[in-house]
Amino acid sequence: MPGEAIAGLKSFQARSIIEEMRKGSVPADYVHFFTVGRANWLNFIEDDLANYIAEGGAKVRFLHGDYGDGKTHFMSVIRHIALQQGFAVSFVVLTRDVPIHKFEAVYQGIVQQLCGNFAGLGIRSLLTQWLDSLAPEEALLDNEQIGDLAETLRNLPGMNVNFANGLIALVKNRFLPLQEGEQPDERIENRETIFHWFEAGKITKRELKPFALFEVINKANSKQMLNSLNSFLRFCGHKGLVLLLDELEMVIAQAASVRNAAYENVRLLIDNTEQASYFHIFFAIIPDVLLSEKGFKSYDALWSRVRSLGQPEQRLNYRGVLVDLHRTPLKSEELVKLGQSLRQIHQISYRWDATDSVPDQLLLDICANQKKMGLLSEVRLFVKQVISLLDLAEQGEDVTEKLDLAEHIVNSQQEMEQEKIEKLQPSWDN
């Protein structure tokens, strides 16, 4: 039970969670503490992963919800489920540093945020653990053993020759004895070059040639590289790859040329998925992405693929392409459970007893006020209010009587609107 698990938190862990939630996000390692409601969506996604993607299927879905509806949290829950089922997962937030209109940057984000049945984060951690598994520490492999492994890797379904050559180059770098005149520092430098290639870093073809790598990773070979990555992940024991791309809506505020390049990359990722296996991709979007003239409909090549998303069905289809969080908001009792978890974590964080100061009735009153103002679906607004009230109560304020909840909700909403405006400011046109 979440309550029992929360009780085992240390004060610093609890405070870290509260600080992250003040900023509107849930730390990935603790997302299960806040998983309430929307069971239908999660059950069908879980079923898809176990009985379709893990058996060789591929799928694209769009998480649809307004700012504050809980899209990022929902993606974190999917990440948690996928990891539990044995998939590798990459959760990429599309930002100034990872702009969707530059595919190389997106690929970098994917391999940097990769996690799975290996320690650490990123493709370098995956590759390092794989190398460690091939032979005991300090052991060497002979040419015949490496040759057999090379043949196996090159024959993996969907494996690109360059990706396989990169893997083989790492094995040779790690396990072959130093050649005559070769210095240990050279070996380390060469290993760094190969890792850099796998991470889609800037590197010249001349530097890559000694390792039988003849292409840098770019948009043109992206499909092959993603398929090869997934092929290698399956070779390492994963059931497939789940890719989560958050905040796609940021592209709406960009110049037309940037938007077109971004939408072309979305189309490319959709096409890649439809021809892939053991692969599931989720895009998080706000309604404007489907409704605005600067949204998907502004790019015909993409809109022709996703036009049906702009015409929501009368009844919710839990197996459909659109996961509509806005039409399936959390209920008041579910929000109260979320508030209870927040209260328990706040207590541990600041070593106090909040049960009487912020009782369940106050949590229900917050829900009632949000519902009265047509804002019950905004989970982030609820979280912001509860944490604010817990802060005030911990500092000695009587929040059950002295506070005007209507005024409090307006203030919290204004803060959120300002956050939304700042996030939608054009910031990566270049």
**pLDDT at residue 314 tops 80:** no
Percentage of the chain lying above the pLDDT 90 cut: 56
Give the mean model confidence (pLDDT) for residues 65-74: 84
The 10 Å Cβ neighbour count of residue 55 is 11
pLDDT at site 219: 81
Contacts 24+ apart (CB under 8 A), 306-315: 306/62, 306/270, 309/62, 309/64
**Helices and strands counted in the chain (H then E):** 18, 6
Q: Name the band, by pLDDT with cuts 50, 70 and 90, for residue 37.
A: confident
Asked whether the beta carbons of 357 and 400 are under 8 A apart, the reply is: yes
What are the b/e assignments for 378-413, b being 16+ CB within 10 Å? bbbbbbbbbbbbbebbbeeeebeeebebeebbeebb
pTM for the structure as a whole:
0.84
Report DSSP letters for 259-324, one per residue.
HHHHHHHHHHHHHHHHT-SSEEEEEEE-HHHHHSTTSGGGSHHHHHHHGGGGS--SS--TTSSEEE
pLDDT at site 21: 87
pLDDT at site 309: 79
- CA dist 272 and 158 (Å) reads 12
User: Distance of CA 330 to CAs 17, 247, 326, 334, Å?
Assistant: 21, 21, 9, 6
Q: Name the band, by pLDDT with cuts 50, 70 and 90, for residue 36.
A: confident
- Rounded to 10 deg, the angle between the 71-85 and 39-51 helix axes is 40
**pLDDT at residue 130 tops 90:** yes
pLDDT at site 417: 58
Q: Give the torsion through C-alpha atoms of 389, 394, 399, 400, to 10 deg.
A: 110
**pLDDT at residue 338 tops 70:** yes
Three-class SS string for 169-228?
HHHHHHHCCCCCCCCHHHHHHHHHHHHHHHCCCCCCHHHHHHHCCCCCCCHHHHHHHHHH
Per residue in 405-422, pLDDT (tens digit) is: 666 566 655 665 555 545
pLDDT at site 33: 82
pLDDT at site 9: 92
- CA dist 189 and 299 (Å) reads 44
Per residue in 87-110, pLDDT (tens digit) is: 999 999 998 788 899 888 899 999
pLDDT at site 375: 76
pLDDT at site 28: 77
Q: Which residues contact 186 (CB under 8 A, 6 or more apart)?
A: none
- CA dist 147 and 62 (Å) reads 43
Q: Name the band, by pLDDT with cuts 50, 70 and 90, for residue 312.
A: low
Give the mean model confidence (pLDDT) for residues 12-25: 89
Q: Helices marked H in 9-142 — which ranges?
A: 11-22, 39-51, 71-85, 103-112, 123-134
pLDDT at site 426: 44
Per residue in 369-407, pLDDT (tens digit) is: 888 887 777 888 888 889 999 999 999 988 887 556 666
Asked whether the beta carbons of 22 and 342 are under 8 A apart, the reply is: no
Asked whether the beta carbons of 65 and 272 are under 8 A apart, the reply is: no
Contacts 24+ apart (CB under 8 A), 8-15: 9/345, 9/348, 10/348, 11/348, 11/349, 11/350, 11/351, 14/345, 14/346, 14/348, 14/349, 15/349, 15/350
- Range with the poorest average pLDDT among 138-142, 298-302, 348-352, 385-389: 138-142
Amino acid letter for position 6: I
**pLDDT at residue 38 tops 90:** no
Per residue in 131-177, pLDDT (tens digit) is: 999 987 667 788 888 999 999 999 999 999 999 999 999 999 999 88
pLDDT at site 394: 94
- CA dist 94 and 245 (Å) reads 7
Amino acid letter for position 50: A
Mean pLDDT of the chain: 88
Per residue in 186-227, pLDDT (tens digit) is: 999 999 999 999 999 989 999 999 999 999 888 888 888 999
Give the mean model confidence (pLDDT) for residues 39-49: 94
